Copies of this chain bind each other. A is one copy, B any other.
Amino acid sequence: MPVEIERKYLVTSDAWREDMAGTPYRQGYMCVSELATVRVRQAGERAFLTIKGATAGLSRAEFEYEIPVPDAEIMLRDHCTKPLIEKTRYEVPFGGKIWTVDVFDAANAGLIVAEVELTHADEQVQIPPWAGREVTDDPRYRNSSLISDPMNGSDQ
C-alpha cells in the first residue's frame, strides 16, 4: 500500500528562497471524512485527483491519479468546498533531501510551510535553519483544515 510519511514545519525566514522558480497550485476538497479525504489539485500545467486515508501517526495511505486539466477546472469550480487553497510550491534541496516549501496565498496569505518526506517513520533528518516550529501533528496546518479555518502569518 502506498503510504505517505512526512514532517512539517513553519518557515521563519526567507533564507531558503534563492531566486527559485515556484509552481502555482490551486486545490480543493470534495470530501474530508474519517475514512477518506478526496482532493483535486491543479499544479502548473498538470492536474491530479488524490485520495488520502486517515492519519496513523506520521503515516497515511495515499493514492494519486493524474487527470485532464479541464476536468480539474470544473471540479474545482463546482464540486469542491470553497474557498480553494492557493499557494506557490518550491522544491528546496537541504541536507540531502528535497524540502517542499509552500507559500500560501488568498485566505491563508502570510503562511509558509515546509515539508519533508521520510522513507520510514523513524528516519533522522537535518532540520534547515529557516524551519521553525514543527506542526506535523497539528491538524490546523492540514491543507484540508486551511479551507475551513484559514491561517495567516500573524497566527503563527
Contacts and interface: CB of A to CB of B under 8 A. Distances in A.
Contacts of A38: 30-31, 36, 38
Interface-centre pick from A49, A51, A79 (highest chain B CB count, 10 A): A79
Given A67-B63, A67-B65, A51 B35 contact: no
Interface string A34-76: 0110100000000001010100000001010101000100110
Contacts of A80: 35-36
A82 to B, nearest CB: 9
Nearest to A80: B35
10 contacts: A30-B31, A30-B33, A31-B33, A31-B38, A36-B75, A49-B49, A51-B79, A53-B78, A61-B79, A63-B74
